[in-house]
Amino acid sequence: MRAVSAIDAAYRQLFKRYLFRFDAEYAHRMTLRMLSLMPPFTPPRERPELAIKLWDTDFSNPIGLAAGMDKDAVAIRAWETLGFGFAELGTITPRPQAGNETPRLWRLPERRALINQLGFPSEGMEAVAPRIHRMRKAGISIRIGLNFGPNSNTPPEAVAADYTRLMERLGPLADFIVVNVSSPNTPGLRNWQSPEKMSELFATMVGDAGESPRPVLVKISPDLERNELFRICESALEIGVDGIVACNTSVAREALGVLSPHPGGLSGRPLLIRARELIRDIHTHTRGKIPIIGVGGVGTAEDAWLHIRAGASIVELYTALIYEGPGVVEKIKTGLADLLRRNGFRSIGEAVGIDR
Ligand SMILES: Cc1cc2nc3c(=O)[nH]c(=O)nc-3n(C[C@H](O)[C@H](O)[C@H](O)COP(=O)(O)O)c2cc1C
């Protein structure tokens, strides 16, 4: 815990004085570099009531890092030190690619939000694999999700093959896999959310026998119509998808109360209520049969708690880490343990979906 406080204090000093004066992407790169160079510290002590088991995997707590922060798996030890129970790394593409032109990341500090149109900059799966392999060999307690996406120059007819290659190369290194079909910054990607395309994709990735050595989840967009969402839920049940990550960034602006000229995906506080609505709809429509990772706008224990009560088994965050600093993870965990106790629950699992 002392290590987390020191890192948090250092970030706040830097954050206040320097980081926010830089271009958002440059500041992000510097922060990630510092985190990747950080010496290993003992992670904070875990509270047993926050532990949860999903897909036969034990998570020491339900708070995870959302995809996009550590796209190339360079700072796994730092996420563990900050107290995350899991980290979703990626989006990883098969071949290295630079992503979209810059500038492509903007802050909306007064709304505690970001807009990005990065377009999957990735060092590619061959760079990422040995990093995860090394960490596994050294021993880590944090759970690792790997988020997959196709290269931007892959023709539509070869997209499923991109996911399959990622699955073959990186699948065995992951605790769970996330198929990202919802980034708004890769043209055509969101079409893969349709039930027909999703079935085709999963059949190719996992094989017709439907057996994957690792749980395979799908990450969906907050911009889906309700009837589209219900069709996705039905087909997810049918295909045997192991989980749904709800949700990615949004291209909506006015509907989320944001006015901004920047293009791309909106994340952070304005997404909170929409994400919760999606989580509740998925939980209801799948009758709680498919575990949900709740993500979107989480910055406090109360936010995480309400995502869990709506149906999320575990929760992720990204944007709050930028605005609140790395101490936010431990703050949320302490608050969650308190909320559990005050509401008469003995474990996170008992509270999942009780507001359905
Ligand atoms: C700068 C940035 C980059 C992101 N990159 C990815 C990505 O590569 N893959 C992905 O699935 N989600 C990506 N996301 C979306 C997040 O994982 C998350 O779904 C979204 O930001 C909502 O969570 P938040 O409000 O806690 O940030 C990115 C988000 C941001 C802000």
Ligand 1 atom closest to residue 316's alpha carbon, by position in its atom list: 26
CB distance 248 to ligand 1 below 6 Å: yes
CA of 311 to the centre of ligand 1 (A): 20
| Ligand 1 atom showing the smallest separation from residue 90 Cα | 8
pLDDT at res. 14: 75
57 three-class SS: strand
Atom nearest to 178 CA in ligand 1: 11
Cβ of 298 below 6 Å from ligand 1: yes
Q: Which residue has the tokens 């999320």?
A: 312
Task: Say yes or no: CB of residue 66 within 6 Å of ligand 1.
Answer: yes
Q: Is 268 left (phi over 0), alpha (psi -120 to 50) or beta?
A: left
What average pLDDT does range 161-190 have in this prediction?
95
C-alpha to C-alpha distance for 244 and 63, rounded to whole angstroms: 16
> Which residue's CA lies nearest to atom 14 of ligand 1?
68
How distant, in Å, are the alpha carbons of 29, 178, 281 from that of 292? Answer: 30, 12, 11
End-to-end CA distance of the chain: 35
The pLDDT of residue 38 is 86
| Among 354, 335, 208, 339, CA closest to 284 | 354
- Judge whether residue 15 has pLDDT over 80: no
Per residue in 28-42, pLDDT (tens digit) is 999 999 999 988 888
Per-residue pLDDT of 323-343, as tens digits, reads 999 999 999 999 999 999 999
Residue 116 Cβ contacting ligand 1 at under 6 Å: yes
Choose, from 60, 182, 183, 221, the residue flagged as catalytic: 183
Which residues share a beta bridge with 286? none
Index of the ligand 1 atom closest to the CA of residue 298: 26
Burial of 130 (0-12, 13-18, 19+ CB in 10 A): exposed
Strand, coil or helix: 62 = coil
Backbone dihedral region for residue 86 (phi beyond 0: left; psi -120 to 50: alpha; all else: beta): beta
Residue 8 pLDDT:
86
Q: Give mean pLDDT, residues 78-98.
A: 97
If DSSP codes are grouped into helix, strand and coil, which group holds residue 63? strand
Distance CA 303, CA 11 (A): 23
pLDDT tens figures, 298-319: 999 999 999 999 999 999 999 9
CB 68 within 8 Å of CB 104: no
Q: Tell whether the model's pLDDT for residue 55 goes beyond 90.
A: yes
What's the 115 CA to ligand 1 centre distance in angstroms? 10
Band the pLDDT of 97: cuts 50, 70, 90.
very high
Share of residues in the chain with pLDDT > 70 (%) = 98
- Give strand pairing partners of 267: 114
The closest-lying atom of ligand 1 relative to the alpha carbon of residue 114 is 31
pLDDT digits (tens, 9 = 90+) for 256-288: 999 999 999 999 999 999 999 999 999 999 999
Ligand 1 neighbour 295 (Cβ under 6 A): yes
- Tell me, using a 6 A CB cutoff, whether residue 245 lines ligand 1: no
- Mean pLDDT, the chain, rounded, equals 94
Q: Is 268 in the pocket of ligand 1 (CB under 6 A)?
A: yes
Q: Three-class SS of residue 197?
A: helix
Q: What is the pLDDT of residues 121-141, one digit of tens each?
A: 999 999 999 999 999 999 999
Assigned token pair, 244? 């749904």
Contact yes or no for 260/287 (Cβ under 8 A): no
Q: What is residue 97's DSSP assignment?
A: B
pLDDT at residue 208 tops 70: no
- Please work out whether the CB of residue 31 comes within 6 Å of at least one atom of ligand 1: no
Neighbours of 98 (CB within 10 A): 12
- Under DSSP, the state recorded for 287 is T
Mutate to test the pocket of ligand 1, among 147, 183, 189, 267 (most ligand atoms within 8 A of CB): 267
List C-alpha distances in Å: 65 to 76, 184, 188.
10, 20, 26
For the question of residue 183 being annotated catalytic, the response is yes
Checking if the pLDDT of 210 tops 60, the result is no
Q: Which of 108, 127, 355, 51 is nearest to 249 (CA)?
A: 108
186 burial level (CB within 10 Å; 0-12, 13-18, 19+): buried
Tokens 């094989």: give the residue: 207
In this structure, which residue's CA is closest to atom 19 in ligand 1?
248
